[in-house]
Structure 1
Amino acid sequence: MDDRVSMPDIHPKQVIFEHLAGIAQALGHANRLELLESLAQGRHSVEDLAHQSGMSFANTSRHLQILRRARLVNTERRGKHVLYSLAGNAEVVTLLSALGRTGERNIAEVNRVVDDYFNARDTMEAVSREELSGRLEQGGVLVLDVRSPDEFAQGHLPGARNIPFRELEKRLDELPVDAEIVAYCRGPYCIFAVEAVAALRARGFSALRLEDGFPEWKLAGLAVEASPAA
């Protein structure tokens, strides 16, 4: 009798790595990363995501199906619409954050774009989550959410005021000129917060931006608010 332990035809580690490689392949497209960034804000229909990304409905749907097969997104039917959401919000946001940090550290072109656009456009240091959380408790700071109303309704920083970036120029009179403003958007590479801060400073406001965005704030376990209908 042979007492040797027989090894399976496929090693368990290989099975795991094969599935992880499938996730990596699903992440391997810029448009799919952008869709995940949008879904990190909350649920969205294919129509909403196509409008936000500038892709066609067919292209958006195709990318979402790839993400769904990799178990990165879930679907939910609401009437005539299919709503997409992240499958494991904390895990996917953490994965995207790690991908960004790795890119900034290891890829010279990524680091150059961050320096040439974000750092050069806004030479003042961004506000950290910890610092903003403390200032919110003390009061005296106005938090400006420049995302869409739908994203704002699904979740936002406590007491934040929602003025989408494209409406900011027309709604400046809604902001007190003597307030200290901290603007935030969808994440660390969302340009709307940078552009909003530049526009506000050009008109005499005291403005800074949050170091990243709403998903990272929520992931850190900090307080959030949402409308009852969200």
Structure 2
Amino acid sequence: MQTRREAKEALFEQFARVTKALGSPRRLELIDLLAQGERSVEALARSTDTNLTTVSAHLQALRRANLVATRRDGTRIYYRLAGPDVGALYVQVQRIAEAHLPDLPAVATAFLGEDDSEEIGREELLRRLQDGSVTVIDVRPGEEYASGHIPGAMSIPLGQLAERLGEIPAGTDVVATCRGPYCVLSHDAVRILHDHGITARRLSDGVLEWSAASLPLERAGA
């Protein structure tokens, strides 16, 4: 018969299944991508510059903890987060790291570059969207935009931005949005826009945080 101690250890082992699944930088990167929408294994491998075997192994670890779910389309398997609570957990991991890890700012700057651009918060952006005084450009890849984007945002993936500047309405305030506060795409977008004489800011977080705050998203074709 199981002792009380054994039962308690079994209980905490269940909790540890979640933390063990999250205990890998690459698996957190996969969650970061899946927070933007469903992806195939092949697409995740391309986005993370990782071979299929390694990506599949990481996805299986996440699946064993029920943090991701799958669907099959022919021979291709697509992954998605098991629920919005998984995305919220990922956001909370970032907030805890910000609050308790003194090395984080320097590491973030090494990746994102010096933060020399202005940012705008969700509430101000929502207000300005409602009064029509801002142009929002979503610089994520097109499939992420299609999965869910801020209402009214234009899709201009970062790699196309320099050649599509003429599509941005002249004389409007511009806000670049991407995946979240540690997404380099919006930082680079603002630099490109500034280099071409266009004043721009970036959303302080991203689509995941926007959705977590119960703000509306649009989906392509909806």
TM-score, length basis structure 2: 0.93
Task: Give CA deviations for 1:44-80 in whole Å, capped at 9, x if unaligned.
Answer: 0001111111111111111101110111100111122
What one-letter code is carried by the residue in structure 2 that aligns with 1:95? L
- Map of 1:3 onto structure 2: none
Q: Distance in 2 between matches of 1:224 and 1:66?
A: 30
Could you tell me which of 28, 34, 54 is aligned with 1:59?
54
Conservation of the 8 A alpha-carbon contact between 1:177 and 1:204: no
Please state how far the C-alpha of 1:15 moved relative to its aligned partner: 2.9
Task: Give CA deviations for 1:13-46 in whole Å, capped at 9, x if unaligned.
Answer: 4333211212111111111111001100111000
- Map of 2:82 onto structure 1: 87
- Map of 1:157 onto structure 2: 150
1:121 partner SS: coil
Could you tell me which of 216, 220, 227 is aligned with 2:213?
220
Please state how far the C-alpha of 1:121 moved relative to its aligned partner: 2.7
- Map of 2:173 onto structure 1: 180
Which is greater in Rg? 1
Task: Note closer, same or farther for the CA distance 1:62–1:116 as it changes in structure 2 (3 Å cut).
Answer: closer
What one-letter code is carried by the residue in structure 2 that aligns with 1:144? I
- Map of 2:27 onto structure 1: 32
Bigger CA drift: 106-115 or 21-30? 106-115
- Map of 2:92 onto structure 1: 98
Please state how far the C-alpha of 1:148 moved relative to its aligned partner: 1.1
Q: Distance in 1 between matches of 2:10 and 2:115?
A: 46
Say if 2:77 is the partner of 1:49.
no
Percent of pairs identical after alignment? Answer: 41
Listed as ranges, the gaps of 5+ residues in structure 2 are none
Task: Give CA deviations for 1:91-125 in whole Å, capped at 9, x if unaligned.
Answer: 1122111111111222122122345665833342x
- Map of 1:143 onto structure 2: 136
Q: Distance in 1 between matches of 2:11 and 2:201?
A: 44
What one-letter code is carried by the residue in structure 2 that aligns with 1:155? G
Q: Distance in 2 between matches of 1:67 and 1:218?
A: 22
Listed as ranges, the gaps of 5+ residues in structure 1 are 1-5
Say if 2:48 is the partner of 1:69.
no
Bigger CA drift: 10-19 or 44-53? 10-19
- Map of 2:186 onto structure 1: 193
Q: Distance in 1 between matches of 2:168 and 2:79?
A: 34
Measured on the aligned residues, the alpha-carbon RMSD in Å equals: 1.9
Task: Give CA deviations for 1:158-199 in whole Å, capped at 9, x if unaligned.
Answer: 011001111111211211232211111111111001110111
